[in-house]
Each structure stands twice: as C-alpha cells, then as structure tokens.
Amino acid sequence: MSEKRLIVIGAGGHAHACIDVIEEQGIYRIVGLVGVPEEIDTDHLGYRVTAIDSDLPQLAKSSQYAIIAVGHIHSPALRIRLYQRAIDLGFHLPTIVAPTAYVSRHAVIGAGTIVMHGATVNAGAKVGNNCIINTCAVVEHDVTVADHCHISTGAILNGDAKVGSGSFVGSGSVVKEGVSIGSECIIGMGLAVRHNQADTTRFTGSRKS
Ligand SMILES: CC(C)(COP(=O)(O)OP(=O)(O)OC[C@H]1O[C@@H](n2cnc3c(N)ncnc32)[C@H](O)[C@@H]1OP(=O)(O)O)[C@@H](O)C(=O)NCCC(=O)NCCS
C-alpha cells in the first residue's frame, strides 16, 4: 500500500492535539508542518515546521493529504481560507477520527473534519467539512453541524440541534434538543442555549436573543 503522506497546516496548540489524534489513528504519516515565518524550524512533538503558506504549491507535488490544524474561536476565516487553498492546490482533506471517539455508522462526517479523543457523534448526525469536533464533545442523534464549525471540548449538542456554517460552540456549553444556532455565531463556554440563535449572534448567556 502506498504511503499516505500528510501535511499539517498549523503549528499551535490545536495542531499539537491534532498530531496526537493523527498518530493514534495510524493511517497517515505526518511529513511536515506548515506555520508562520517565525515558527520555521521549531519542533512540535517531534515534527518540524519546514514551510509557510506560500510553499504549499510545492508541498502539493509530494504529499497528497493535508489537514487544517489552526484553531477557531473568534472567527472561522483563517480555517476557511486555508481549507479552500488546500482544496484548490489539489490536496485531499481526509476525515480524521480518533480511535477513542465514537462515530455511529449512521452518521456522516465531511472532508477535513477532525473528531478528537473521547468525542461522540451519534446516529443520524451530519457534520460538514473542515469542522473540529473537539475532545469529549457530544453531537447527539440527528444533529446537523454545517461546514467550518468548531464544537469545543465537552460541548453537548442535543438531539436534532442545528449549527450553521462557521459557528463556534464553547467548551462545556449545552444546546437544547431541536435548537438552531445560525451561521458564524460565537457561543461562549459553559452556557445553556435554550433558544434559537440568529446568524452572527455572540451569545454569552442571560438574555433570550
Ligand atoms: C465568548 C468569548 C469568546 C468572549 O471572549 P472575549 O470577546 O475575549 O470577551 P471576554 O472573555 O473578555 O468577556 C467579556 C464579558 O462577556 C461575558 N462573558 C464572556 N464569555 C462568557 C461566558 N462564556 N459565560 C458568561 N459570560 C461571559 C462576561 O460578562 C465577560 O466579562 P468578565 O470577563 O468581566 O466576566 C469567551 O468568553 C469564551 O467563552 N471563549 C470560549 C473559550 C472556549 O470554549 N475555549 C475552548 C477551546 S477548545
């Protein structure tokens, strides 16, 4: 079987967590990290930053796979830009699932999405492309998560909830069953979301919004 060479785009804290999951999954061989110029030659869990964004066309000639490993809290813009660039250059963006996660065979997970350790994606759930389903997050039955979302550590999306494109759900927050969160929303950490949230809402609790 030919080697599956994978480029990790990003070299911060989220990239470290992604590296661990990719290693544990054991399907892809990480052949390099792409960072910002100040990160060149820095070491991350035994992998070196050898390239910056402008080197991606060259890297695409020798590596078929890439994963976007920069984080997303305030804005999905950087992850979206890098994802689109990687696609345009012909990289294949695989779905990465930690062996410690549970993904139902009745769930669908998109390209470039990573499901981190201990997360659950239950039956009938649909998760789009370029999402982060972070450590121990729960995406319950029949939930829809659109492209470019980050469901943070320990967040819970209860049955039939919906999350629109580019939205962030903070660590430990709980979304009531059937509730819809619009696109490009920021839901702070540790909150209960009981009502629908319009596009671009920044929800930090208290009011119904
Ligand atoms: C919502 C959030 C992004 C806002 O960040 P910010 O723009 O830097 O704003 P601040 O954190 O300075 O918060 C301003 C005020 O909003 C309110 N607020 C913000 N987030 C809140 C939250 N999660 N719950 C309750 N109130 C919150 C508070 O009144 C806060 O003032 P205080 O710090 O004096 O208590 C941030 O608070 C948050 O929740 N981040 C998510 C962290 C997370 O889940 N990380 C996981 C990564 S895997």
pLDDT at position 184, please?
98
pLDDT at position 48, please?
97
Average pLDDT, the chain: 96
Please say if the pLDDT value at position 209 is more than 90: no
**7 and 29 Cβ atoms separated by less than 8 Å:** no
Q: For ligand 1, say whether the CB of 188 is within 6 Å of any of its atoms.
A: yes
Task: Give residue-wise pLDDT tens across range 169-201.
Answer: 999 999 999 999 999 999 999 999 999 999 999
Best of 150, 204, 207, 209 to mutate for ligand 1, by most ligand atoms within 8 A of CB? 204
Q: For ligand 1, say whether the CB of 182 is within 6 Å of any of its atoms.
A: no
Please say if the pLDDT value at position 1 is more than 90: no
Nearest atom in ligand 1 to the alpha carbon of residue 135 is 48
Of 141, 133, 153, the closest CA to residue 178 belongs to 141
What's the average model confidence in pLDDT over 165-171?
A: 98
Amino acid at 12: G
Task: Give residue-wise pLDDT tens across range 76-121.
Answer: 999 999 999 999 999 999 999 999 999 999 999 999 999 999 999 9
Q: For ligand 1, say whether the CB of 151 is within 6 Å of any of its atoms.
A: no
What's the average model confidence in pLDDT over 123-133?
A: 98
Q: What pTM, to 2 d.p., does this model score?
A: 0.96
Q: Tell me the DSSP string of the chain.
A: ----EEEEE--SHHHHHHHHHHHHHTS-EEEEEE--GGGTT-EETTEEEEE-GGGHHHHHHH--EEEE----SS-SHHHHHHHHHHHHTT-B---EE-TTSEE-TT-EE-TT-EE-TT-EE-TT-EE-SS-EE-TT-EE-TT-EE-TT-EE-TT-EE-TT-EE-TT-EE-TT-EE-TT-EE-TT-EE-TT-EE-S-B-TT-EE-SSS--
**Where in the sequence of the chain do the CATH 2.160.10.10 domains occur?**
95-202
CATH number of 95-202: 2.160.10.10
Q: How confident is the model at residue 208 (pLDDT cuts 50, 70, 90)?
A: low
**Where in the sequence of the chain do the CATH 3.40.50.20 domains occur?**
5-88
**169 and 162 Cβ atoms separated by less than 8 Å:** no
Architecture of the domain spanning 5-88: 3-Layer(aba) Sandwich (3.40)
Q: How confident is the model at residue 70 (pLDDT cuts 50, 70, 90)?
A: very high
